[in-house]
Amino acid sequence: MNILLTGGLGFIGSHAATVLAEQGHQIILVDNLCNSQIEVLSHLGQIIGKQPIFYEADVRNTNLLNSIFQKHSIDLVIHFAGLKSVAESVTNPLKYYDNNVGGSISLLEAMQGAKVNKLIFSSSATVYGVPQYLPYDESHPTVPMNTYGKTKLQVEEILRDLSHADPDWSIVCLRYFNPVGAHESGLIGEHPRGMPNNLMPYVCQVASGKLPHLNIFGDDYETKDGTGERDYIHVMDLAEGHVAALNFVNQHPGFHAINLGTGVSYSVYDLIGAFEQAANSTIVRKVQPRRSGDLAIYYAKADKAKNLLGWQAKRDLQVMCKSGWNFHKQKS
């Protein structure tokens, strides 16, 4: 198939690109590089064995997208492009609604114009909000606690409406939990610009001496050791989840929201312990007050992905930490 990947040079998009290319699909990448580096393209080329087709373009530029759809006979789109900083979304909501919601509408218009109606959308577990029960299943109420989560939910709602209006659309919203780790080659991985917000990239920078210590945002939660618990998922498992979703989308019209998580939660201390073993180093840490907006614990009910997509995560926390560290070492 000819598959268009928006945000294809980003963390998750680039890993999905490797798996899709290995499966023999023609991939066409679009990215405006607002949160990725052009070097990822040549690294992808090294992994895949040929340079993927790439357009430096913003998904809000509908005319440019129209021309890309005209040039390539696209069968399906995977829409990764989006901004993802929770903190920035709260201080700059218009930027997030414009990019994440406006960008999605622009893409959908271009798809409609080109009569392409198969879509996989990068949604997030953030759409659920405060857990009313755990694990979160896909029927859990969706009450996001921040602007970023609201942009994801709004796009899901737009997609649901679109599929009601035109039943020929096939749409899968994949609600990712906490993606970490990197491709086994160490050539691509998570490369945040500026100070990392997320735990794993921060731990990597402490291990390499770039940052003096890890701040632990609260050790007084009602969790197994007082620190926050999350459903960390290896980015290659997530990438493989997209291949499974692609096979599903090809055969099932309608709108589907599906969790991609492992179904297991690990604490901050669990992750640090696994990382220290994987990297053979000690992570200096300081306990700080809770981070505003953080939840104590959440994790996925992963059954729907298993039943509908025939997919489940295989890689454990050790592999996540080892591969994440391997990428970080090679890059620095």
Residue linked to tokens 């489940």: 312
Using CB atoms, what's the residue nearest to ligand NAD?
Answer: 10
Residues that bind ligand NAD (CB under 6 A): 6-7, 9-13, 30-36, 58-60, 80-84, 99, 103, 122, 124, 176, 178-179
Alpha carbons 30 and 105: distance in angstroms, whole number = 16
Stretch that binds ligand WQD, among 41-49, 195-203, 233-241, 310-318 (CB under 6 A): 195-203
Considering the rule CB under 6 A, would residue 173 count as an interface residue with ligand WQD? no
Residue 29, token pair as written in the block: 């990448």
Considering the rule CB under 6 A, would residue 217 count as an interface residue with ligand WQD? yes
Q: Residue 35 or residue 117: which is nearer to ligand WQD going by CB?
A: 35
Beta strands in 88-239 (DSSP E): 118-124, 170-176, 178-180, 214-217, 229-230, 232-234
**Residues 141/129, Cβ–Cβ less than 8 Å:** yes
- Rounded to 5 degrees, what angle do the CA atoms 324, 29, 256 make? 80
Q: Residue 1 or residue 134: which is nearer to ligand WQD going by CB?
A: 134
> Is 55 in the active site?
no
Considering the rule CB under 6 A, would residue 84 count as an interface residue with ligand WQD? yes
> Which helix (H) or strand (E) is 329 found in, with range?
helix 317-331
- In the list 22, 39, 168, 294, the residue contacting ligand WQD (rule: CB under 6 A) is 294
Considering the rule CB under 6 A, would residue 223 count as an interface residue with ligand WQD? no
Alpha carbons 276 and 65: distance in angstroms, whole number = 45
**Residues 60/52, Cβ–Cβ less than 8 Å:** no
Considering the rule CB under 6 A, would residue 62 count as an interface residue with ligand WQD? no
Considering the rule CB under 6 A, would residue 216 count as an interface residue with ligand WQD? yes
Shortest reach from residue 295's CB to ligand WQD, in Å:
7
- In the list 268, 274, 300, 305, the residue contacting ligand WQD (rule: CB under 6 A) is 268
Q: Which of 160, 323, 187, 177 is nearest to 241 (CA)?
A: 177
Count of CB atoms situated within 10 Å of the CB of 91: 10
Q: Residue 144 or residue 218: which is nearer to ligand NAD going by CB?
A: 144
Shortest reach from residue 109's CB to ligand NAD, in Å:
14
**Residues 61/69, Cβ–Cβ less than 8 Å:** no
**Which residues carry out catalysis?**
148
Residues that bind ligand WQD in the complex, under the rule CB under 6 A:
84, 86, 124, 126, 178, 197-199, 202, 214-217, 228, 230, 268, 291, 294
